[in-house]
């Protein structure tokens, strides 16, 4: 069997007395979408922040292509090929598409002068590759649609060498059509075959449309995992709700 | 319908439409109105050879400090210590010129040494203010307000202890011997007035050449504003400055060294304040503990009138230059229009400041899509 690009073993993360993650295991493979599912507060964002070098694990080990790694900062994680698209996207609203695309990694000539024309062209081409043919690279990000912003953040992560693309609820704030745009983008990235995607969502349908593997978190622990096809819809629904049966929930609702 | 793409939704704009959407347009329009109004109201005296020189002198003073204030505001911070920094660095220069600086064995009367010591002090203080702001996470408004009081008080006290008076006057005119003093306090662009004279203007009552050049601070303003414009709009550091003011967490997540950017800009405002003081000290050969009073507020007001957002992330050095011209001209108007009461100046500044804040807010909404 193929080597996972990124593997997580027995990851524990404590915030003082609070255990946010309690021994989590996870493996992600190139060309696959790994759906990470679970209720609010299950620990999904904490998990990916640890993968992205924002948090340091309390215990447990990360492996990249089988080799143990320790991330001391987000820069370390980026250098190891982990590209994170946060829920808030880390975009600067008042600044142009191009300036956002290259933020912190600007192409510059002598005296630190920006190679603006080249940067405009690359930003345009990279976004076109994954599905947005936007017109004006000088447009401020604040005026873009939510789906376009997601695409910008994803294109940026890929261009700067992401081998694992982490998407934290990329569809949650979007309308139907825009959600589909983002799913199409995910599908296109998956098709390239060389990038592993971790896709966090609360939407069961979305997870099944693009997901190849599933991991379910509840209260900081993995309560279920499996490949697409191995899990039934009902099973997925049950695990997403943290292990409770739908009919129990229906019963609780009726009792109010 | 289906063959319509995103790119079709953008209307092609003419050059004029583009110009009208530029953020400097408001400041530019106000400036044009003021220039024309002042020209007629003063019977064109405001723009005769001497009038022009005097107007540009004050415009350059405002321009120098407003450039610093604007760059810092674009990065999302304020510096209220600019005025006190002018007084403080001016005092250091005048005292080193008068008494020397014994710890370094510097004798009195050395302009280069006096300037270097004052500039070092300014940059260190700028670094200190910036470091306190980024380390503590406190509002720069409060931290720099503390330095407004601290530096002004230190200036007055040091003056009294060492000099027995809060003023130094009667220093020799260092411009005569020192090219360095001449560079800061002397005259520049003499050729403009020479040409003016050759063309038959610029005459005094005796028919000789009247004015020989602009104050050197005119050149320093152009240099400082030009450099700031270049860095902000064309370089990587400029991108980082805008990003820091726009959303510092997003900037940091993308690897922008947000704290270094801010500290650097606090040092830049201190640099601007010290240049302001140096031009003044070497021009007049005097210093006064009250110099620079309230100028931090004018610097901020001009930055806002020039289109800089109070919330950071947006602003234009060119707009700030227009703002400096506008406010400078109105500050001086009382000298050219005798029937005007000088206090209207502040009424005017208050009015355009308020108008500018509203205009800037509209621009911000347009860019961020309305929230
Ligand atoms: N920095 C922190 N300090 C203390 N507790 C934290 C911290 N970050 C997260 N937590 C806690 O850890 C738990 C998991 O939070 P996390 O954000 O990972 O949930 P999530 O699965 O992403 O939820 P959601 O679906 O709502 O985004 C929550 O109870 C949260 O309060
Ligand atoms: Mg979350």
Least confident of A47-61, A237-251, B280-294: A237-251
Give the residue-averaged pLDDT of B17-43. 87
CATH code, domain carrying A69: 3.40.50.300
Cβ contact (<8 Å) for A93 and B239? no
Residue A214 alpha carbon to ligand 2 centre in Å:
17
Residues in chain A: 256
Answer yes or no: is pLDDT of B276 > 80: yes
Instruction: Tokens for A178, please give them.
Output: 């825009």
- Side by side, the strands of the sheet bearing A164-168 are A82-85, A164-168, A196-200, A33-38, A213-218, A221-227
> What local confidence, expressed as pLDDT, does residue B13 receive?
64
Residue-level pLDDT at B261: 97
Mean pLDDT of A117-139: 84
- Residue A111 reports pLDDT greater than 80: yes
Residue A96: phi, psi to the nearest 5? Answer: -75, 165
Strand partners of residue B246: none
Out of A80-84, A165-169, B205-209, B318-322, give the one with best mean pLDDT: B318-322
Q: Which of A117-121, B279-283, B366-370 has the lowest mean pLDDT?
A: B366-370
- Could you tell me if residue A139 is inside a domain? no
Element (H, E) at A61: strand A59-64
Q: Is a pLDDT exceeding 80 seen at residue B368?
A: no
Answer whether residue A126 is part of any domain. no
Partners of B253 on chain A (C-beta within 8 Å) are: 74, 86, 90
- Separation in Å, CA B251 to CA A21, A34, B61, B69, B155: 28, 28, 33, 21, 38
Summarised one tens digit per residue, pLDDT across range A14-40 is 998 899 999 999 999 999 999 999 888
Q: B237 to chain A nearest CA, in Å?
A: 7
Can you say how many angstroms the Cα of residue B70 is from the centroid of all Cα atoms in its chain? 8
In a domain, A22, yes or no: yes
Q: If you average pLDDT over every residue of chain B, what do you get?
A: 91
**Cβ contact A77:A71 at 8 Å:** yes
Phi/psi at A34 (5° precision):
-105, 110
For the sheet with A18-28, list strands across it: A18-28, A6-15, A59-64, A67-69
Q: Which residues of B touch A134 (CB under 8 A)?
A: 6-7
Say how far apart CA B54 and CA B48 lie, in whole Å.
Answer: 10
Question: Is the ipTM, as predicted for this complex, more than 0.85?
Answer: no
pLDDT of residue B10: 55
**The pLDDT of residue A89 is above 80:** no
* Percent above pLDDT 90 for chain B: 72
Quote the CA–CA distance of B128 and B146 in Å, as a whole number. 12
Chain A: residue whose CA lies nearest to B5: A133
Identify which of A75, A91, A108 has the shortest CB distance to residue B255.
Answer: A75
* pLDDT: which is higher, B228 or B4: B228
Specify the pTM: 0.85
Q: Domain count of chain A?
A: 1
How far apart CA B174 and CA B281 sit, in angstroms, is 10
SS (H, E, C) B25-78: HHHHHHHHHHHHHHHHHCCCHHHCHHHHHHHHHHHHHHHHHHHHHHHHHHCCCC
Residues constituting chain B: 371
Q: Which of B9, B234, B368 lies closest to A113 in CB terms? A: B234
**Phi and psi torsions of A7, nearest 5°:** -130, 140
Which of A73, A84, A95, A113 is the best substitution to test chain B (most B C-beta atoms within 10 A)? A95
Give residue B340's pLDDT band: very low, low, confident or very high (50, 70, 90): confident
B217 pLDDT more than 80: yes
Is the Cβ pair A113, B250 closer than 8 Å?
no
User: Would the CB of A18 count as within 6 Å of ligand 1?
Assistant: yes
Q: Which residue of A has its CA nearest to B253?
A: A90
Give mean pLDDT, residues B304-322: 93
In a domain, residue A62? The reply is yes
Could you report how far apart the first and last alpha carbons of chain A are, in Å?
50
Higher per-residue pLDDT: B208 or A2: B208
pLDDT band of residue A162 (cuts 50, 70, 90) is confident
Share of chain B above pLDDT 70, in %: 95
Domain hosting residue A33, numbered range: 6-91+162-255
pLDDT higher than 50, residue A251 = yes
CA distance B214 to B220: 11
Take atom 16 of ligand 1 and give the residue whose Cα is closest. A43
With a 6 Å cutoff on the Cβ, whether A44 touches ligand 1 is: yes
Residue A225 has pLDDT above 50, yes or no: yes
Report the mean per-residue pLDDT for chain A: 87
Residue B349 or B120, more confident:
B120
Residue A199: what pLDDT?
93
Predicted pLDDT of residue B187: 93
Residue A106 forms part of a structural domain = no
Summarize the confidence of residues B322-337 as an average pLDDT: 92
Asked if the structure places residue A196 within a domain, the reply is yes
Band the pLDDT of B357: cuts 50, 70, 90. confident
Mean pLDDT of B304-321: 92
pLDDT recorded at residue A1 = 56
Q: Record the tokens describing residue B141, joined without a space.
A: 């408004």
pLDDT band for position B144 (cuts 50, 70, 90): very high
Domain-embedded: residue A208: yes
pLDDT attached to residue B137 = 92
Residue with tokens 């695990």: A239
Q: Check: CB of residue B245 under 8 Å from CB of residue B238.
A: no
- The whole-angstrom distance between B250's CA and the closest CA on chain A is 4
Asked if A104 and B251 touch (Cβ cutoff 8 Å), the reply is yes
How confident is the model at residue A122, as a pLDDT? 93
CA angle B299, B305, B309 (to 5 degrees): 90
pLDDT of residue B2: 46
Contact at CB, A113 and B251, closer than 8 angstroms:
no
The SS3 assignment for B3 reads coil
Answer yes or no: is pLDDT of B286 > 90.
Answer: yes
Distance of CA A25 to the CA centre of its chain: 17
pLDDT over 70 at B7, yes or no: no
For B76-96, what is each residue's pLDDT tens digit? 999 999 999 999 999 999 999
Enumerate residues with CB within 5 Å of ligand 2 (an ion). A 45
Ligand nearest to the CA of A242: 1
The encoded tokens of residue B20 equal 């009208």
Identity of the residue in A106, A111, A133 whose CB atom sits nearest the CB atom of B239 = A106
Cα(B48)–Cα(B359) distance, integer angstroms: 33
Distance, CA of A154 to CA of A18 (rounded, Å): 32
**Cα of B77 to nearest chain A Cα, Å:** 17
Domains present along chain B, CATH in parentheses: 25-34+46-367 (1.10.3470)
For residue A237, give Cα distances in angstroms to A178, A204, B138. Answer: 24, 7, 47
Task: Kindly state whether residue A220 falls inside one of the protein's structural domains.
Answer: yes
In this structure, are residues B242 and A92 in contact, taking their beta carbons and an 8 Å threshold? yes
Q: What is the mean pLDDT of residues B107-126?
A: 96
**For residue A167, what is the enclosing H or E element?**
strand A164-168
Residue B188's pLDDT is 93
Inter-chain CB proximity A74 and B253 less than 8 Å: yes
Task: Give the pLDDT band (50/70/90) at residue B1.
Answer: very low
State both tokens at A59: 């215990």
Which H or E element spans position B148?
Answer: helix B140-158
In ligand 1, the atom with minimum distance to the C-alpha of A169 is 27
Q: Which stretch of DSSP H or E encloses residue A18? A: strand A18-28
C-alpha distances in Å from residue A236, one per residue of A23, A131, A246, A249, B258: 21, 30, 11, 15, 43
Give the confidence band of B254 by pLDDT, cuts at 50, 70, 90: confident
Q: Which of A12, A39, A41, A242 should be mutated for ligand 1, with most atoms under 8 A from CB?
A: A41
What distance in Å separates residue A183's CA from the closest CA in chain B? 18
Interface touch A114/B242, C-beta < 8 Å = no
């Amino acid at each position: 069997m193929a080597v996972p690009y990124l593997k997580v073993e027995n990851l524990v993360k404590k915030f003082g007395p609070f255990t946010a993650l309690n021994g989590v295991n996870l493996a992600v493979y190139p060309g696959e979408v790994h759906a990470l599912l679970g209720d609010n507060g299950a620990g999904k964002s904490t998990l990916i922040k640890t993968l992205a070098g924002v948090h340091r694990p309390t215990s447990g080990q990360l492996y990249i292509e089988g080799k143990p790694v320790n991330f001391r900062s987000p820069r370390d994680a980026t250098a190891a090929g982990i590209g994170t698209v946060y829920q808030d996207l880390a975009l600067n609203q008042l600044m142009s598409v191009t300036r956002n695309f290259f933020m912190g990694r600007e192409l510059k000539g002598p005296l630190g002068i920006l190679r603006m024309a080249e940067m405009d062209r690359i930003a345009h081409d990279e976004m076109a590759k994954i599905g947005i043919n936007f017109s004006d690279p000088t447009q401020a990000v604040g005026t873009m649609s939510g789906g376009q912003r997601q695409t910008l953040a994803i294109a940026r992560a890929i261009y700067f060498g992401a081998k694992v693309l982490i998407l934290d609820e990329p569809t949650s704030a979007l309308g139907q059509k825009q959600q589909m745009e983002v799913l199409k983008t995910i599908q296109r990235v998956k098709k390239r075959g060389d990038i592993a995607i971790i896709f966090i969502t609360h939407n069961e349908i979305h997870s099944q449309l693009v997901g190849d593997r599933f991991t379910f978190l509840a209260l900081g622990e993995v309560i279920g995992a499996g490949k697409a096809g191995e899990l039934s819809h009902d099973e997925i629904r049950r695990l997403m709700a943290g292990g409770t049966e739908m009919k129990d929930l229906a019963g609780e609702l009726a009792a109010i | 319908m289906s063959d319509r793409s995103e790119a079709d939704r953008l209307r092609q704009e003419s050059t004029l439409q583009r110009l009208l959407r530029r953020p400097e347009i408001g400041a530019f329009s106000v400036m044009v109105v003021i220039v024309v109004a002042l020209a007629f109201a003063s019977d064109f005296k405001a723009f005769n050879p001497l009038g022009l020189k005097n107007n540009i002198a004050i415009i350059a003073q405002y321009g120098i400090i407003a450039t610093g204030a604007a760059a810092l505001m674009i990065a999302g911070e304020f510096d209220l210590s600019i005025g006190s920094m002018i007084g403080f660095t001016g005092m250091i220069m005048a005292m080193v010129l008068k008494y020397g600086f014994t710890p370094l064995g510097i004798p009195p009367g050395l302009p280069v040494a006096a300037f270097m010591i004052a500039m070092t002090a300014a940059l260190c203080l700028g670094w200190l203010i910036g470091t306190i702001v980024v380390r503590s996470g406190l509002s720069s408004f409060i931290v720099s307000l503390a330095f407004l009081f601290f530096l002004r008080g230190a200036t007055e006290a040091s003056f009294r202890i060492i000099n027995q008076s809060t003023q130094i006057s009667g220093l020799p005119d260092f411009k005569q011997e020192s090219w360095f003093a001449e560079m800061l306090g002397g005259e520049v662009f003499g050729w403009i007035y020479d040409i003016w004279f050759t063309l038959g203007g610029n005459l005094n009552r005796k028919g000789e050449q009247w004015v020989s050049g602009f104050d050197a601070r005119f050149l320093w303003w152009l240099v400082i504003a030009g450099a700031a414009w270049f860095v902000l709009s064309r370089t990587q550091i400029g991108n980082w400055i805008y990003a820091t003011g726009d959303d510092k967490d997003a900037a940091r997540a993308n690897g922008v060294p947000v704290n270094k950017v801010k500290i650097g800009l606090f040092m830049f405002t201190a640099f601007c304040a010290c240049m302001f003081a140096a031009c003044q000290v070497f021009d007049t050969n005097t210093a006064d503990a009250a110099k620079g009073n309230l100028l931090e507020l004018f610097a901020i007001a001009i930055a806002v009138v020039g289109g800089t957002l109070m919330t950071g992330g947006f602003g234009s050095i060119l707009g700030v230059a227009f703002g400096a011209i506008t406010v400078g001209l109105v500050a001086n108007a009382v000298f050219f229009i005798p029937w005007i009461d000088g206090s209207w100046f502040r009424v005017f500044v208050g009015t355009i400041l308020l108008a500018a804040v509203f205009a800037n807010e509209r621009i911000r909404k347009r860019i961020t899509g309305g929230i």
